């Protein structure tokens, strides 16, 4: 069965780069026709879509974050990653990776358990 698991540093200094990895089991990202995305949720607040990518290399980012975001794939490890540059306190959030079945403009049917990232010096 499909499972996603986020990992990465829980603390990032202001102006630095936030880097998280999502490990996928139960499916091969490089052979799947599904899309894979990142969503974040500041403590006590709602959900914000960050971006989605496809194995072909196509990426789709939220315009509000596009200048700072990169999502990439590591096929050898069946993982995909999120890099968010120049972080501030406003980037403190739980970061989720998730699957969007068969299309970028889709719902997310499988989610990781989340990784909490705090921005502080």
Partner 1 sequence: AIQLTQSPSSLSASVGDRVTITCRASEDLSSGLAWYQQNPGKSPRLLIYDVSTLESGVPSRFSGSGSGTEFTLTITSLQPEDFATYYCQQFNRFPITFGQGTRLDFK
3, 83, 109, 118: which one binds partner 1 (CB under 8 A) = 109
What minimum distance in Å lies between the beta carbon of 30 and partner 1? 24
Contacts of 32 (CB under 8 A, 6+ apart): 55
The stretch near partner 1 (CB under 8 A) out of 9-17, 23-31, 77-85, 105-113 is 105-113
Enumerate residues 5-34 that contact partner 1 by CB under 8 A: none
Q: Please provide the DSSP assignment of 65-97 as one string.
A: TTTTEEEEEETTTTEEEEEE-S--GGG-EEEEE
CA distance 55 to 72: 9
Enumerate residues 35-64 that contact partner 1 by CB under 8 A: 46-49, 52, 60, 62-64
Enumerate residues 63-102 that contact partner 1 by CB under 8 A: 63-64, 96
Measured from the CB atom, the residue of 80 and 108 that comes closer to partner 1 is 108
Q: How far is CA 10 from CA 13, 14, 45, 63, 95, in A?
A: 10, 13, 19, 25, 10
Q: Which residues bind partner 1 (CB under 8 A)?
A: 46-49, 52, 60, 62-64, 96, 105-109, 111-114
């Amino acid at each position: 069965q499909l499972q996603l698991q986020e990992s990465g540093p829980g603390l990032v200094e202001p102006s630095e780069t936030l880097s998280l990895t999502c490990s996928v089991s139960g499916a091969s990202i490089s052979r799947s026709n599904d899309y894979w995305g990142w969503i974040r949720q500041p403590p006590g607040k709602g959900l914000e879509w960050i971006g989605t990518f496809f194995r072909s290399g196509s990426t789709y980012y939220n315009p509000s974050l596009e200048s700072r975001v990169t999502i990439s794939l590591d096929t050898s490890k069946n993982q995909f990653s999120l890099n968010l540059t120049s972080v501030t306190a406003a980037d403190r959030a739980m970061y989720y990776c998730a699957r969007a079945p068969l299309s970028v403009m889709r719902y997310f049917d499988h989610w990781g358990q989340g990784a909490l990232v705090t921005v502080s010096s």
